[in-house]
Amino acid sequence: MASKKQPTVRVSESLMEDGTKLVTEEIMETGWRESAPYLKTFMQHIIERGDMIVGLDIKWRSDFSSNQPVALITFCTQIKCLLLKTNGVYSQFLQQLFGNKDIIFVGVYIKIEVKLLRKCCSLEIENVVDLSELAADVLHKPRLRAFGVRLLASEILLEPFKARSASMA
């Protein structure tokens, strides 16, 4: 009887400036069946902690015409990040996570990502907030709609952006 291949998982911890520990789990190239327990645990973590705002970022393969256009999906909450390297097959847990009406997914240019996910992968995300649009509307600064995440954070926090050193990149 063939054994089930377990995903390779890399876990790292870092300390944020306020002292909060941030745990990152990186799930390496596996099928979604193998990564489903990690998605399920992540979703339980969100619900149990009431941490219902989740940062979302999607990296696309350079060959978008391939059958597997999504390369990496990153989810981040206040204290945990989950990075899923994908192989083009999506589990029910991913759709459950995206379809949960109580979870708000936030990001910069996220509405474009949502349209692409719907078109190429048949994945629907219920609650989406584009942070650049929100900032532009709340602060009455339409130019913020064109800002990327780093420049937007710098503008909102009134802190100049500091480039990371080569060793941190």
What domains sit in the chain, N to C, each tagged with a CATH number?
9-130 (3.30.420.10)
- Angle CA 107–118–87, to nearest 5: 85
* pLDDT of the residue at 158: 81
The pTM for the full model equals: 0.77
How many angstroms separate the Cα of 13 from the Cα of each of 24, 67, 133? 6, 33, 31
CB atoms within 10 A of CB 26: 17
* pLDDT of the residue at 3: 47
Average pLDDT value for residue range 102-113: 91
pLDDT surpasses 70 at 5 = no
* pLDDT of the residue at 67: 66
Over pLDDT 70: what percentage of the chain? 80
What is the distance between the alpha carbons of residues 41 and 132, in angstroms, rounded to a whole number?
30
- Angle CA 153–158–162, to nearest 5: 65
